[in-house]
Structure 1
Amino acid sequence: MTGTTLGQGLDGLPIAPALPELAAALGRAGVAVLRAPPGAGKTTAVPLALIAAGVVRGRILMLEPRRVAARAAAERLAEGLGEAVGGRVGYRMRGEAVAGAAIEVVTEGVLTRMIQSDPELRGIGLVIFDEFHERALASDLGLALALEIRGALRPDLKLLVMSATLDVEAVSALLDGAPVVTAEGRAFPVETLWLDRPLASGAGRGPGLEEATAELTLRALGETEGGVLVFLPGQREIARTAARLAPALPPGVRLQPLHGGLTLAEQRAALAPAREGRKLVLATSIAETSLTIPDVRVVIDAGRARRARFDPASGMSRLVTERVTRAEAEQRRGRAGRVAPGRCYRLWTKGEEGALAAAAPPEILAADLAGLALEVALWGGTVETMPFPTPPPAPALAEARALLRALGALDQGGAITAHGRVLAGLPTHPRLGHMLILAGEHRSRDLAADLAALLAARDPLRGAGGPAEVDLAIRLQALRDPGAAEREHPVTVDRGAIAAIRAEARRLRAGGAKGAGEPLGAGALLSLAYPDRIAKRRDGEAPRYLLSGGKGAVLPPGDPLARAPFLVIADLDGDPREAKARRALSLSEAEIRALHADASRRERVCEWSRRDRAVLARDRLMLGALALEDRPWTNAPPEAVAAALVEGVRDLGLDTLPWTPAARRLAARVEWLRARGVDLPDMSDAGLRDGLDEWLAPFLTGRARLEDLARIDLAGALGARLDWEARARLDALAPAEIAAPTGTRLAIDYSGAAPSVAVRLQEMFGLTRHPSIGPDAVPLVLELLSPAGRPVQTTADLPGFWKSSYADVRRDLRGRYPKHPWPEDPAAAEPTRRAKPRG
């Protein structure tokens, strides 16, 4: 291929004027970023133009995000050269390859495998990342690996990133300041129409979305000419919308679905121009980019997209249906302007458009990162230091590494193991690859391959509800005998899906070691892939399960699997509180013990049970969070029981303890003195709670229940915290009592604002110096009592009281208590506990 000829019919594409600039930039810098709107023709024209310009030495690899797009791009490129695929243009994807001498279109995961097999990419001159704005995880990984190759091994390797909507400045910076080339827009204008008012409440998903889409499609068919492309979020919505449309379609309109689950022939039928009449294509987002449906002039956008969301806290992914972003809506709109002026109908109002997000988040922020972490470990790098356009979130990365360690793919230091190297070479998720490898050792590879193919594909059962809703065994039956499955269960088997699953299973059966172990059942095999989702039925009527990973799961009421004591659940809806099981198999406790003995652990625990208000000492065999055995631990060490009872006290609070007046006085004395800077053990509520293990546990020997605490000598336990020196300091500076002049021992109350004692007034006669305590000689508050024990005066200055207020007290009480002495000079009188003698 020489000169500047682009190939048949390519010179008229909107991108054509930008191609010389792109070739010059790539030849000069070796890296470039091309921004070209939808419909510009970049996928078709760029590889041919770069070869024609002599910029590339070696083959071109062009990445496409989907299998159907890769195959279609290769066919269009070959057509532009006037030849069939297999000459100068080929394609490669999982399980299918057609050689190409000059250009090879590959799906994103294929590039990773090529790099891991040949880190220098020998014979490759240019790698093109098409539709990079989709920010697929495999595309990000491929670019990061290619950048490392260019930086360390192949400085001559050229890299080109192409996109319709992209933050080109950020990508240019990642490519060391790569030049940015911008192409013109689509060839034909597209008129956009919005709804007059928002969809009614409740519409926008489920039946409401499908009904509204069908109505808008029929309206568009009546107002326009040419092919119609309808965007819906998933296969189920496509089927329901098609069922609504079929009876009402005008004559000559051929309805054709387009999604990844179709056969190659069905996909080609959707892409081919209509020979007569009009074509109506109902498609998922697969038709947003790369694919050209030549005769489409009308786009109807239902405004929804389906995305995978991964929750690192639960280790589960789920598909969610969300509003399209503005970037996605623009991509979809662009499909209408490729062959003639077009029209785009949007199933939302113009006012709602401002609330749409600008673009979908990169997949690396919302995906299961186990495969990425394994690939980077195989590469010998670290995720944190590789040049990813967007760094992966730390929690999801930690979850991925934890899973890989559990599968034996990484060692504790994060380095890849021999088992991990084998896993990385398998064309499936590490979980399923782990199952396939171990299945070979048990002469069960065929069954494992069936399971892996089933789990990686869309559900082959239509109308699967009731007993067929969750049970993978019914899907295995359908894989082997579709008719039997339909006869025995209320389902319809999708024969096309079954054929694709069988083909994938055949591919997964190839290779692998064959051991001599006993064959395994389906549930046992599945537990090898999902050891963290082995589930044990909880007590109670509802079909609720606890997973070995610690999360909860629930089955639909009445599901036959709900009677099984143990399950392994391969798919859950990701609800963080209690996930709904969507695909599961039963297995026996014996199978769990045999296969997961190395992961099980004997655990003897003493735990405080709030429900029983007692310490429970148990001897358990644990698999993660599941107790396979649970029996009493009859000879549990006393210190372990005491530690658990301490946790009970901490849980219920210090008021659970048997506080006596003596215990409270001791704690109050200590705290009063500590407030004055004296070094003593902390006996505040917080200090006592924090130090329970130290001061209370030694007094709990032989006690295991809440009521046993009543027998504790709490004052003795608190006092034991004071050594001889601390006790002497306490008694000297904060005595428990003082002596009245009569010799009566008076207990000091330290619980108030200041230490105080209550004493009958007559017992203090003759005292001319006020008593004080503490290192700073704090006056002791005296609560003076009448002969009947009622408070009459509170003072912190007894000599001052004698000289002032006493006279008033004497006048008020002398007549009331005539049998008791009331001297005029109390400071000189004899203290007494008695009444006056009879005279």
Structure 2
Amino acid sequence: MSAAFRLPPLPDLPVVAALPELLAALAASPRAVLEAPPGAGKTTVVPLALLAAEWRPAHQKILVLEPRQLATRAAAARLAQLLGEPVGRTVGYRVRLDSKVSADTRIEVITEGILTRMLQDDPALEDVACVVFDEFHERSLNADLGLALALDAQAVLRPELRILLMSATLEAQRLGQWLPAPVVSSAGFLFPIETHYLDPRRATSLPNKPSERLAELVPSQVRDALAQHEGDVLVFLPGVADLQRVDRKLGDSLPVDTDLHLLHGELPLEAQDAALRRAPAGRRKVILATSIAETSLTIEGVRVVIDGGFARVPRFAPRTGFTSLETVPVARAAADQRRGRAGRLAPGTCYRLWTEAEHHLLPAHRPPEIHTADLSGLVLELALWGTTDPASLRWLDVPPAAAVAQARELLGRLGALSGDNAQPTPHGRQLAKLGLPPRLGHLVVRGAELGHGPTAAALAALLAERDLLRWATPNDPRPLPPDLRLRLEALASGRPPLPGLALHHATLQRVRDVARHLQSRLPKAPAASPRNQEFANAPIGLLTALAYPDRLAQREAPDRLRLVTGQRVSLRTEDVDPQAEFFAVAYLAGTASQPRATLAAPLDREELAAAFSEQITTTEEVRFDPATQRVSGRRVRRLGALLLEEKPIGQPNTELVAQALLGYLQEAGLAKLNWTDAARQLQQRLEFVRQHVGEAGAESWPAFDDEALLADLPAWLGPHLNGLKSLDQVQRLDLTEPLLARLPGAWAQRQELDRLAPAALEVPSGSFITLDYADPTAPVLAVKLQELFGLTETPAVAGGRVPLLLHLLSPGGRPAQVTRDLRSFWEKGYFEVRKDLKGRYPKHPWPDEPMKHIPTKLTKKRLGTS
């Protein structure tokens, strides 16, 4: 054991039995994996044991990483309690905006993102003996990044640095093989937990929307649990809004001896601590919590868990660059973690608000955040580390290439990376030190350079935290006003900016704290908080645009904007500024296909042009005007998809005219073309041959379905548009030749088309009947059955491979029978049809032996028979 630290008496927890093996593993190897189920005590015991390890020099620290601030402070408090010391002496913690450490601190419990900053400042971590990744199974983005950098530092600079991964649910053997590292397993301990699922009959009557479902289920379940069980009740809900909704529904209906607490990461510390403390003697607690309470916390007194079964997770779409929060079903591993909260200190009960059948359909684990998150911060940190290729580091899951490319594009636009080699600029280094997402860091730094430092810091703080506004009336279904200026007004005044609105006071205080912290990091930072006048005079739209240059927008309609990227988003512009034409959009909600701007600010044309002058282009454009149905030319100034100015020009170039017509047709679709019956049948014949012959034929047969034709429209239709100027001229164009010209085999392939998929077929009566290829799996020959007398075998196409589907018509032209087996019809089905139709059509032949009769389309009289 280390001479500098004597291990205190440890609590009787299962992980204690695994400590000798764990310490031996770390003595022999610089890496190890500890698999410890919920209740084993790994967070409480292991850091103290590592501090007493012989391989730890007395001056070096143990870093313990936790995924959340609440867990970080709680773990530090518990470790310090075991030592009989206050937090900040031997055991301390660091979280954003708060820390308690001293020169004597040897165990630092930190949030995961702080490790990255420590590594960037000191890649060798000279004063650190071991880095412990607690709750690694959560696979947060910061944990994956921190581990990749720590492994790189260990391999290159500090081979003696120990790295320990602790996990409750991750597949430890897989992790051990990947590192590689020895795996130590600890027994866990939970008191018996009785688990109840939702009655399937009850489930069928519930709303599908998670928020409505939980609002209906949870309050009554809480009251029932309090009546039927002892101890406190912990309720898991997906988001803060769900907590508040259930809080209002419970209202005054709880017993008089029961206190109601909310627990989420945006609460003040005192409110979080109140939720975690044991209830006073004679009282009980109900804690409404987000996923923050899943791991690393033991909430004393909890005997009942009510799990709503959902979680709020961020989803980043590289195609659009939007990150949205989605409510998704909880993973089974997380559900087990939640259930375990009920059996930490005594036998407990868990109510799962989903059916047992639904439980088996839940995903086993949450997807790692690296697959679903915006990677701009990660890519910037890698560039600062000296790594341009993420794959050169060791990852349990390599960052997705599409998200990395999207991040590099954004960082280049922000000026954080330079050139094709994606090297960090001095500006990029400055952004990383602020501890903000790169967008918001850019807002703070550039805003200060423009002389609006206090407003930029306040705006970045607002955008980094939860919205501080709410409706004063609970359950108001309306979306909050999207105007960012209202938030700044509320931040400065501490009062609701409009009648009917109220403030989240805890969020207000946190935003002010973050703003002050950011201001303190800026050169010549002002001592006082900015007042309303400062905000009123600041260009809020321009500052917002600095953070979101890819979300500059132009009004297209009173309820719709077009982003600089070309995507459309909904926004009632009268809710921000009914006179404004340009906006900077900060937040988007809704779906990727129907995004909705939830925070925005107006932007002057002059501000826009001055700030983004290098990105503005002037070009001559030719476009199709739907109003006149003709093509016109103009000279335009654009910022991406935003139109800043346009002037008409004279006679446009014919090639540009053809391109404009093509552009309109590509947007409007193939329905705008002249699809005669012959053209549509030709398309269907070509697609039929492609599906049934394809590469098997002498020539290749390209796809001719609508999607393929639309995608290839310039190639097959473009040459035929030269000289045309209007849609009317386009709609007189015969499509048969353009379609046939798309065949690579020229004349020979056209002849092969007629052989494999003839447009019409001569039937025994001598008639030529047009074939219907609308269904390529069953082309149709619709013909009066009398015209097929004497024909015994079903006709086929595609070189005899595909029999036709025969629609045998009555003399009146209505389907009498549908078959692919003509011989069987003559032998069996014909006589039933004759029995039904002979009386209605007595003038037409109905022979006893149809296979021997003369085929005809004539009546008996005209045929010359009786």
The interval holding the TM-score normalised by the smaller chain is 0.7 to 0.9
Which residue does 1:278 correspond to in 2?
284
Partner amino acid, structure 1, of 2:212: P
Secondary structure at the counterpart of residue 247 of structure 1: coil
Contact 2:51 2:107 in 1 (8 A): no
Bigger CA radius of gyration: 1
2:413 to 387, 406, 409: 406
1:478 to 462, 472, 490: 490
Shift of 1:512: 3.2
Contact 2:625 2:631 in 1 (8 A): yes
Shift of 1:173: 2.6
Shift of 1:558: 6.3
Shift of 1:180: 0.7
Which residue does 1:330 correspond to in 2?
336
- 1:385-400 to 2 correspondence within 5 Å? 385-400=392-407
Shift of 1:631: 2.1
The 2-side partners of 1:438 and 1:192 are apart by 54
- 1:717-736 to 2 correspondence within 5 Å? none
Greater mean deviation of Cα atoms: 195-204 or 213-222: 195-204
Shift of 1:148: 0.4
Which residue does 1:426 correspond to in 2?
434
Gap runs ≥5 in structure 1: 658-685, 713-729, 731-750, 754-839
Partner amino acid, structure 2, of 1:311: A
Partner amino acid, structure 2, of 1:182: S
Partner amino acid, structure 2, of 1:567: F
Contact 1:226 1:278 in 2 (8 A): yes
2:229 to 221, 224, 227: 224
2:467 to 459, 482, 501: 459
Which residue does 1:184 correspond to in 2?
187
Contact 2:206 2:213 in 1 (8 A): no
- 1:634-673 to 2 correspondence within 5 Å? 634=650, 636-637=652-653, 640-641=656-657, 644=660
1:341 to 342, 347, 350: 347
1:527 aligns with 2:532: no
String of CA shifts for 1:610-651, please: whole Å, max 9, x gaps: 664433212111111111112213365565446656878999
1:504 to 486, 501, 514: 514
Which residue does 1:80 correspond to in 2?
82
- 1:299-318 to 2 correspondence within 5 Å? 299-318=305-324
The 2-side partners of 1:491 and 1:561 are apart by 19
Secondary structure at the counterpart of residue 506 of structure 2: helix
Which residue does 1:256 correspond to in 2?
261
C-alpha change, 1:134 and 1:691, in structure 2 (3 Å) is: closer
Secondary structure at the counterpart of residue 498 of structure 1: helix
Which residue does 1:196 correspond to in 2?
199
1:63 to 57, 62, 65: 65
- 1:97-246 to 2 correspondence within 5 Å? 97-100=99-102, 101-176=105-180, 178-197=181-200, 198-199=202-203, 200-202=205-207, 205-246=210-251
Partner amino acid, structure 1, of 2:610: A
The 1-side partners of 2:367 and 2:550 are apart by 28
1:536 aligns with 2:554: yes
Which residue does 2:685 correspond to in 1?
none
1:489 aligns with 2:499: yes
Partner amino acid, structure 2, of 1:151: A
Which residue does 2:456 correspond to in 1?
448
The 1-side partners of 2:732 and 2:343 are apart by 87
Contact 2:22 2:34 in 1 (8 A): yes
C-alpha change, 1:617 and 1:180, in structure 2 (3 Å) is: same
The 1-side partners of 2:754 and 2:324 are apart by 61
The 2-side partners of 1:648 and 1:496 are apart by 52
1:438 to 441, 446, 455: 446
Shift of 1:298: 1.6
String of CA shifts for 1:316-372, please: whole Å, max 9, x gaps: 111111111110110011111111122211112222211111011000111111111
Please, what TM-score do these two structures have when normalized by structure 2?
0.74
Contact 1:14 1:187 in 2 (8 A): no
Contact 2:674 2:732 in 1 (8 A): no
The 2-side partners of 1:648 and 1:187 are apart by 66
Shift of 1:482: 2.3
Contact 2:672 2:731 in 1 (8 A): no
Which residue does 1:817 correspond to in 2?
none
Secondary structure at the counterpart of residue 593 of structure 2: coil
C-alpha change, 1:461 and 1:648, in structure 2 (3 Å) is: closer
The 2-side partners of 1:147 and 1:81 are apart by 31
Partner amino acid, structure 2, of 1:442: L
Aligned residues with identical type, % of pairs: 44
Which residue does 1:663 correspond to in 2?
none
RMSD across aligned positions (CA): 3.4
Contact 2:624 2:660 in 1 (8 A): yes
The 2-side partners of 1:137 and 1:711 are apart by 58
- 1:613-692 to 2 correspondence within 5 Å? 613-634=629-650, 636-637=652-653, 640-641=656-657, 644=660, 690=715
The 2-side partners of 1:468 and 1:693 are apart by 48
Which residue does 2:98 correspond to in 1?
96
C-alpha change, 1:270 and 1:545, in structure 2 (3 Å) is: same
Secondary structure at the counterpart of residue 615 of structure 2: coil
C-alpha change, 1:709 and 1:479, in structure 2 (3 Å) is: closer
C-alpha change, 1:604 and 1:173, in structure 2 (3 Å) is: farther
Alignment: residue pair count: 685
Partner amino acid, structure 2, of 1:575: T
C-alpha change, 1:20 and 1:139, in structure 2 (3 Å) is: same
Gap runs ≥5 in structure 2: 526-534, 676-708, 734-746, 748-752, 756-866
Shift of 1:84: 0.7
Please, what TM-score do these two structures have when normalized by structure 1?
0.76
Which residue does 2:593 correspond to in 1?
577
String of CA shifts for 1:714-762, please: whole Å, max 9, x gaps: xxxxxxxxxxxxxxxx9xxxxxxxxxxxxxxxxxxxx999xxxxxxxxx
Contact 1:543 1:563 in 2 (8 A): no
Contact 1:553 1:580 in 2 (8 A): yes
C-alpha change, 1:280 and 1:526, in structure 2 (3 Å) is: same
Which residue does 1:51 correspond to in 2?
51
The 2-side partners of 1:41 and 1:79 are apart by 14
C-alpha change, 1:707 and 1:269, in structure 2 (3 Å) is: closer
C-alpha change, 1:652 and 1:611, in structure 2 (3 Å) is: farther
String of CA shifts for 1:773-822, please: whole Å, max 9, x gaps: xxxxxxxxxxxxxxxxxxxxxxxxxxxxxxxxxxxxxxxxxxxxxxxxxx
The 2-side partners of 1:53 and 1:527 are apart by 52
C-alpha change, 1:694 and 1:15, in structure 2 (3 Å) is: same
Contact 2:576 2:600 in 1 (8 A): no
Secondary structure at the counterpart of residue 598 of structure 1: helix
Greater mean deviation of Cα atoms: 319-328 or 554-563: 554-563
Shift of 1:207: 3.2
The 1-side partners of 2:518 and 2:307 are apart by 38
Contact 1:450 1:505 in 2 (8 A): yes
- 1:781-792 to 2 correspondence within 5 Å? none
Which residue does 1:297 correspond to in 2?
303
Shift of 1:296: 1.5
The 2-side partners of 1:652 and 1:232 are apart by 48
Partner amino acid, structure 2, of 1:263: P
Shift of 1:187: 4.1
Shift of 1:73: 0.8
String of CA shifts for 1:681-702, please: whole Å, max 9, x gaps: xxxxx999848877985xx4xx
Shift of 1:601: 1.3
Partner amino acid, structure 2, of 1:260: G
Secondary structure at the counterpart of residue 469 of structure 1: coil
Secondary structure at the counterpart of residue 515 of structure 2: helix
The 1-side partners of 2:617 and 2:491 are apart by 37
C-alpha change, 1:476 and 1:56, in structure 2 (3 Å) is: same
Partner amino acid, structure 1, of 2:292: I
